[in-house]
Amino acid sequence: MHDMKVLHIIRNVASNREGLCALSSNSDNSYLAYLGSSLTGQAQVFDTLNLKPGIIISAHESPLAAIAFDMSGTKLATTSNKETVIRVHSVVDGTRVFEFRRGLRRHIETSREKLVATIYSLAFSPDPMFLAASSNTETIHIFRLVNPKEKAPEEATWMGYFGRKLSDVAHYLPKQTSE
């Protein structure tokens, strides 16, 4: 059995009952994001390479419900517990680069119950072209992270994405034979 060495302890963290945090897995941009406030939607970004606090991103008016980094560690997606808006911020300067709405209504009636829509999970695709959000409404929403002014290449479209994935697995299919 091995003990891990503690490199740093972050003190005076906002109350965080759900243990909400996200860690960037990029070796050049390694950050930890956690609640900057238990009353508002602030995300504190901590530089794990230099072991020092980074910026505070004021993302929402209400407390955060979910946060996630993209693979490059340069973007942070957030959503709050009182709205169905998802925002993506630059980790470098905190500017908002994208904003999406999960749906128009916050209160939803399913066949089984009445729900207050809450987003519980955010995840970026590896190429950070897409952001997925799952909620308690039995839905998963996928958003494309492309500026409307930029024309997306064919492989960045859904058809291009699925075409690539289909061609990746095509070599597993049996070869056509002729008699």
Instruction: Spell out the domain ranges in the chain.
Output: 21-170
Say yes or no to pLDDT of 3 above 80. Answer: no
Assigned CATH class of 21-170 = mainly beta
Q: Mean pLDDT over residues 110-132, rounded?
A: 82
**Highest mean pLDDT out of 54-63, 158-167, 168-177:** 54-63
pTM of the model: 0.74
The mean predicted confidence, pLDDT, of the chain is 82
- pLDDT digit string, tens, across residues 7-48: 888 888 889 888 899 999 899 999 999 999 989 999 999 999
Distance from C-alpha of 9 to C-alpha of 169, rounded to nearest angstrom: 45
Kindly report the backbone phi and psi dihedral angles of residue 16, in degrees, each rounded to the nearest multiple of 5, phi listed first: -145, 75
Distance from C-alpha of 32 to C-alpha of 138, rounded to nearest angstrom: 29
**Which tokens is 175 given?**
């070869």
